[in-house]
Copies of this chain bind each other. A is one copy, B any other.
């Protein structure tokens, strides 16, 4: 089973081809720019370089978040569009689980953290084990205080942190989690190969393209503004003559 996977959930971009759980190729680029600009061209160049065509792909896998709202919209929409046009299933994968898989096969808790702005992070907790990583706390959006409580609740001992939120909060995390292991920066980028590997494992749950949705975990700024606008509009109705 040939799975083309990509991730647009952060400022990094990644594309991979995984065949029956084995790596064929992978590229990851930090600060790659808007996925609207690189994604489809990137997929095209990537497959051409491998002498493959989209028609030879059996399924698409995409990081469904949590992560950048705009990035996720574009990545998930592209996966749905490609899947629909090619009549291939699409497998949505948690970006945080893919990230955790950058530190697999240890014997420690692994906590991927992505910057959610507004002093919050997208986070989850896994244990690295003989099977790679296993989830012990679901994807959530939390304040830093909430993150420390989550870490406390999931056990004791060292915790490996990885993800772009460390660019902002590494020091604070090191101060509050004892001991915190801050992974080397090249491991902070979600890898499309991990998305492909998880998708291959979860291939039984492949969905129709139209059924895949991004995992935002909270409302976007735009939605909050509409909501606020709605409340204001409701207030206005109160003062209607």
A residues with CB within 8 A of B: 18, 21-31, 49-50, 103-108, 110, 128, 130, 132, 158, 160, 179, 181, 183-189, 193-194, 196-197
Residue of B nearest to A12 (CB): B23
Chain B residues contacting A49 (CB-CB under 8 Å) are 29
A-B contact pairs, 19 of them (CB 8 A): A22-B30, A23-B30, A23-B185, A25-B27, A25-B28, A26-B27, A26-B186, A27-B28, A29-B49, A103-B104, A104-B106, A104-B184, A104-B187, A105-B160, A106-B106, A107-B107, A130-B158, A132-B184, A184-B197
Chain B residues contacting A194 (CB-CB under 8 Å) are 186
Cα separation A179 to B129 with both chains bound (whole Å): 12
| A105 B107 Cβ-Cβ under 8 A | no
Residue of B nearest to A157 (CB): B107
Supplied contacts A105-B128, A106-B128, 11 more A-B pairs, CB within 8 Å: A22-B185, A22-B186, A24-B29, A24-B31, A29-B50, A103-B106, A104-B106, A105-B106, A106-B108, A132-B184, A186-B196
